[in-house]
Amino acid sequence: MAHNGLLLVNLGSPVSPTNKDVRAYLKEFLSDQNVVELPKWFWQPLLRGIILPARTWRSATFYQHMWTKAGSPLIVYTQILRDKVQKILPDWDIQMAMTYGQPDISETLHKMAAHDDEIVVLPLFPQYTQSTHDSIFQQVRASGVKTKLIKSFYQEPRYLKLLASGVDRCYPQKKYDAVLFSYHGIPTSMVKKGDPYRKECLATTAGATQYLKLPHEKVRTVFQSKFGPMPWLKPYLKNTLMELAEMGKRNVLIVTPSFVEDCLETIEENNVQNYQQFRATGGQIFDAVPPMNANDDFCQFVADLSMKQINPDRGKADHDTKY
């Protein structure tokens, strides 16, 4: 009997929230040319001489604020996701790896290849972009292990329904003036070179909105987490929040579809920094729809999506289950 494997891949996290470990993580992450496309001869001296010394202590402070007894929330939720999918697919070998740090993608794949006949690799990023996916795909190919790669899943109806159901659960609790679908930004230069990320983000908002029970005119798409001086995808979340407050729209609900699990961007950037800025400019209510965070329905979706890669007739991506 064939034995199948599933490798869930997330971005990664520092080993600990100490300056030393955060610096090592940032160095690896920001040295990736899929993330920062500047020439190495120009970027590396800038990174080591200015960026890392200035950014490490600040990032370490943010990680310390969000760190739990079990570790980094992103790592912890990925582990929970892995374990839940393993229970749903007891005959499969479910593993996890990180683009940066541990567990290593190549090492994990080689261990799986020793006893798994077919291996599915699922990056835990619904929308494809060079800055997240290409590094994963390159590491997978460099391993020499044959796999089935899932490029994206933003277009899957079940994912969109899960996204919408999360919003519909939160929306009735208060009188929100706007619902912001906020995605991690990327440099506009990547989009100009053909990266489909912006189109996939807009398609995600439109796809989820069709299932929403709230007034659709309240929904907007914005981008967050800008890094560096170059232009990134707009509109920026920070600017939109200030504009809404100035217009008297003081109650906002944030949705973060590009993050399937809580991480630095959702916990620190949004719930602390953006919340404080919104309040400082006249905003009143700033709430966030929790990410999937390994909830049972999302785990079932991941299991079914993976089965579909091996046997298209068995793993139905949009069966009649109601959410």
Query: Which residue ranges are tagged as binding site for Fe(2+)?
Result: 184, 265
Q: Residues within the annotated binding site?
A: 184, 265
Phi, psi of 322 (to 5 degrees): -100, 135
How far is 62 from 257, CA to CA, in rounded Å? Answer: 22
- DSSP H or E run through 286: strand 285-288
Tokens 């943010």, residue? Answer: 62
How far is 154 from 127, CA to CA, in rounded Å? Answer: 5
Are residues 14 and 72 in contact, defined by beta-carbon separation less than 8 angstroms?
yes
Q: Which two tokens stand for residue 145?
A: 């292990």
Which among 285, 1, 267, 217 is positioned nearest to 115, based on CA atoms?
1
- Number of other CB atoms surrounding residue 308 within 10 Å: 17
